[in-house]
Amino acid sequence: MKNAQFIFSLLLLAFLMFSCQKNQQDMESLLPQNGSISQASTTTEEGLARTCGSEEHMNHLMEDATYASKHREKLLRLKNAPAISRNNSSEKIILPVAIHYQGVPNPDRACLIRLAQSQIAILNDDIQGTNGDRNKWNQVAFAFPDTKMGAANLSFQIADRNHPAGFGLAAGGLAVTINQTNGDEDTRWAGYLNIFVKFDTGILGYAPLGGSGNGDGVVIDATAFGAGAGCGTIRPNAPYNLGRTLTHEVGHYLLLDHIWGGGCSRDDGVADTPTQASANYNCPSVGKTSCNTKDLFMNYMDYVNDVCMYMFSQGQATRMTNYVNTSLQHVVAKAASVITPFPELDQNAYYRMTTKWQGTGKSLDVINDGKNNNVHLAKSGGYTGQFWKFTSMGNGYYRMTTKWQGTGKSLDVINDGKNNNVQLAKSGGYTGQFWKVTPIGGGYYRLTTYFQGAGKSLDVINDGKNNKVHLSNTGNYTGQFWKLAKL
């Protein structure tokens, strides 16, 4: 798709307030007139409904001459910068995140932290192209020969140290505030991607079209944050209950317009997304056509239901990455001081795995029962069944094997209908053998699988013996806090 160019004028602004139409101009005047807010003008039985929203939020920001000037500078930097996308690099660009719940009655902090962690895991999977439903693209890709599914090497992590003063957050604890902020900006949290979760917004969410990292961020309605049952009154409602509203709004924050841009006469500024007349809703059929091209409605920047959006294009992934590299480097730089880094896993070394709950006296071990398949916690010692190797499988996932059994057997989730038990199984291309290691503060890590996603974590069962290990619902439980010690 041709590069879209925007113009900002008072005459056009007055027109846009009613029509959501855009015109094509030069890149130097690429100014936001669409897509900075996912607004609902109607409701459904399930809750808020996506519609083509107005541009009040971004247009309001652009009324400030200083803001408008800085925004033009960002667009020029993006235009003039060399092709610096790191999409093909294995090195992740890390952005620190702070989540701010507002107006929550009787908050359950542990539950809200769990919800925040699961939502950020969804965001990372969507941005990095590792989402569990990405294979849907393989079934429809034939209809879009000029489009490839994208993957950006951006990683969003909730900050866990050196928090701003005045919020009562301890070192090692996550940057999650409850009823301590107001509105959609807080300069005390400059240098972070801020997520403000609010009630009764009348919209699913909104964000500036190109965030500044100066304490701004994205707003998500309490009915569209996270997935699953939620926490009390913070409860995602169908059909927007898979966490994709945040993916959509972070796309805006990283300078992605809505997929339809301004209609057939002006696109979204990304070369590999087809021109589209207007927003799509619900779950259209593949082949729906407008502007003489098929609509890429499964894109995160359309308005379809969460279950029907599952991809960014490679052009969008590149645009987001390049925007971070040209305008959010101060946010990237902040990460080093506020985030405990991912472990530098030496793929030629072995690690001992212990939990915060049971301490270093018990290690993850393979049971010598003649089958050598089951795993549990056992007294720490110099046993090769307690020596674990992490082999990268790409996209942040690892295969876990032991020195005792070798690479022929991997830690796996048993597909028994419950998908809770873990054991060693013959190594293969099974998603239950793809483990993600995620920092959760204080030098501890959470282990989840590609098969079960972020909702289930490797855990120690509190059964009186505290030995059995399986997958259980992700939570703020110390039996899910694993320490990796290089041997």
At residue 24, the pLDDT reads 32
Q: How far apart are CA 239 and CA 309, in angstroms?
A: 11
344 close to 484: Cβ distance less than 8 angstroms: no
pLDDT tens digits for the chain (487 residues)? Answer: 444 333 333 333 333 333 333 333 333 323 444 333 333 333 443 455 554 233 556 666 777 787 778 778 877 887 776 655 444 455 789 999 999 999 999 999 988 988 998 898 899 889 999 888 999 999 999 999 999 999 999 999 899 899 999 999 988 788 999 999 999 999 999 999 999 999 998 899 999 999 999 999 999 999 999 998 899 999 999 999 999 999 999 999 999 999 998 899 888 889 999 999 999 999 999 999 999 999 999 999 999 999 999 999 999 999 999 999 999 999 999 999 998 766 668 888 999 999 999 999 999 999 887 777 889 999 999 999 999 999 877 656 789 999 999 999 999 998 777 778 899 999 988 889 999 888 777 788 999 998 888 889 999 988 777 788 999 999 889 999 999 999 9
Left (φ > 0), alpha (ψ -120 to 50) or beta: where does 336 sit?
A: alpha
CA proximity to 224, closest of 212, 237, 215, 233 = 237
DSSP state of 318: H
Equal CATH topology for 10-338 and 351-486: no
Tell me which CATH code domain 10-338 carries. 3.40.390.10
Structure tokens at 195: 């997520």
**Dihedral of the CA atoms 165, 218, 305, 4 (nearest 10)?**
-150
Q: How far apart are CA 245 and CA 223, in angstroms?
A: 10
* Bridge partners for 459 per DSSP: 470
Catalytically active residues are 249
Pick the CATH number of 351-486 from 1.20.140.10, 3.55.50.30, 2.40.50.140, 2.80.10.50: 2.80.10.50
The reported pTM is 0.72
| Helix (H), strand (E) at residue 453 | strand 453-460
251 close to 320: Cβ distance less than 8 angstroms: yes
**Dihedral of the CA atoms 232, 234, 237, 241 (nearest 10)?**
-110
Q: Where are the domains of the chain?
A: 10-338, 351-486
Q: How far apart are CA 159 and CA 176, in angstroms?
A: 9
DSSP 3-state of 289: strand
